[in-house]
Amino acid sequence: MIAINWTKIGIWTAVVAASATAVFLGYRHYNGLVEAKVELSTRVSALTADVAREKARAEAFEKTIDTWDKAAETQREALNQFTQAQREASHYQRELKDVLSKHDLGALAKRKPGLIENRVNAGTDRALRLLESASEGTGAGTAQAAPAGSAAGTGSR
């Protein structure tokens, strides 16, 4: 008869059970790592897409800011031009007030109507040109209407 050594069988059973448990736990751990890697890869892809989208938005904002800066500079230049035109108009207005305060145009107009009419028409033309240049308008209708009206007015007087 073969003597059965239960102690050796118990030890071998314990070694096989421990090995099987170690392999099973290692497999579960490996599967968990693979799943975590897939999840992290998905999150990295999503975050990379988010970063690209945010970079595009930032570039669009920078272009918009550049456009606003250019518009602000254009407005600043236009304001400087208008301020200069206003100074010139104020200076001319002071000159006219000076001249008009020293002279009685009513009496002069009665004595020499042609002289006053020519000066008033020339002053009106100059004022319209200054207004046109200050507003940067074409003034095609205004520039043509003033001489026609003054010529018609001269003939009827």
The model's pLDDT over 82-138, given as tens digits with 9 standing for 90+, comes to 999 999 999 999 998 888 788 777 777 788 888 778 888 888 999 999 888 888 755
Q: Residues in the chain, how many? A: 157
CA 59/CA 57 separation, integer angstroms: 5
Under DSSP, the state recorded for 139 is: -
DSSP 3-state of 4: coil
56-88 pLDDT tens trace: 999 999 999 999 999 999 999 999 999 999 999
Q: At what angle do helices 113-135 and 140-156 cross, to 10 degrees?
A: 170
Residue 153: pLDDT band (50, 70, 90) is very low
For residue 96 the two structure tokens come to 């006219």
